[in-house]
Amino acid sequence: MNQELIYLDNNATTKLDPRVLEAMMPFLTNQYGNAASNHEFGVAINQYVKEARANIAELIGCDDHEIIFTSGATESINLAIKGIAESNQGKGKHIVTVVTEHPAVLDTCRHLERQGYEITYLPVGPDGLLDMHNVGQSIREDTILVSVMLVNNEIGVIQRIEEIAEIAHAKGAFFMTDATQAVGKIPVLVNHLGIDLMSFSGHKFYGPKGVGALYVRSKRPNKAKLNALIHGGGHEKGLRSGTLNVPGIVGMGQAAWIARKEMQADAQRIGKIRDYIEKELLQIDHAFLNGHSNQRLYNVTNICFEDADADAMIIDLKDIMVSNGSACSSTSVEPSHVLMALGLTERQGFSSLRISLGRFNTQQEAVIAVKSIKEIVTNLRLMNV
């Protein structure tokens, strides 16, 4: 791979911040103790886990004990949805979610359907946003959970989750959000937004892979009680047994600390680069933006270039890394389920690129990427004539 790699796929994963790596290194070498051990070495290691938990809790505005460490957002989502489903069977077996959710949510819900649960999959408008009237109408007396993604991973739209949470609570349901693309990038304060359960992952905000967290509300009236998925040892309040990934947890804690300090500056700088890329690329004939143009995250643009195959564009871009959908479903030969939900044709879905920026991208990289994409779209269309 060429050393001049331009990485524009930050919604798939982000580069590990060097400051995070520095914080992790001692726990990959001489500070190797098990945080659950009760000897002096283990107790000392556990103190660093506590500090990381406190940093993450402060980032999202919750109590330290409401953070449950997992292997990543996918595990957090499974624990939240299945855990709530099992512990609330007496109330009902109905769950509400959205057609544009991440596969981790959709596949978990499909699994529950096979277990006898009923799932309502809400549609979105052409802009990717939910209709609040539809949300209210979908919740029933036997609804136990409403799960709506905060920021969509493919098109970046931001749902009105504070309002959705109010609707869910008014009808006696818990509210969950997959905030994997939001935490560490924009302010996400769980008490202000009315969130009961929230999944997120360290590697989406410049932390390490293999570590994530689930926020579980501990306060009434919406105290969330979960059944565990993994048993054995009673780690993480009995909800996620297994030896703690101390280097990963410390790294995620450091990434959270940096995010609190630098989030606003990152947003301003990255947003300007995204706006430049988008403005330039939308000047291409028969190119249009997928999703809402304003109510979305600052780092992502998803553009359809009609009559130019996205896979061919990705191949031709070589050392410029972009995406044509979710990295977690990239082996699929089907068009993006998110873009199909917006009303695109299959051909338009296969002609769409996602460009997602991060902390380490530069304006110069944006200039090079724009020039390359313009040339490739032109060439591909000429080949189709």
Active site residues: 328
Q: In this structure, is the dihedral angle defined by the CA atoms of residues 299, 304, 310 and 316, taken in order, positive or negative?
A: negative
Q: Is the bond leading into 18 cis (omega within 30 degrees of zero)?
A: no
**Which residues are bridge partners to 177 per DSSP?**
198
Whole-angstrom distance, CA of residue 285 vs CA of residue 296: 24
Residue partners of 352: CB distance under 8 A and separation at least 6:
290, 302, 303, 304, 305, 310, 324, 336, 339, 344
Q: Is 218 helix (H, G, I), strand (E, B) or coil?
A: coil
Residue 240 to residues 67, 76, 104, 213, 236: CA-CA distances in angstroms?
11, 10, 18, 11, 5
Structure tokens at 378: 């032109």
10 Å CB burial of residue 253 (0-12, 13-18, 19+) is buried
C-alpha 255/C-alpha 207 separation (Å) is 5
Distance between CA atoms of residues 68 and 309, nearest Å: 42
Separation of alpha carbons 320 and 372, rounded Å? 9
Q: Taking the C-alpha atoms of 180, 199, 121 and 11 in order, what is their torsion angle to the nearest 10 degrees?
A: 10
Evaluate whether 162 touches 300 at the Cβ level (below 8 Å).
no
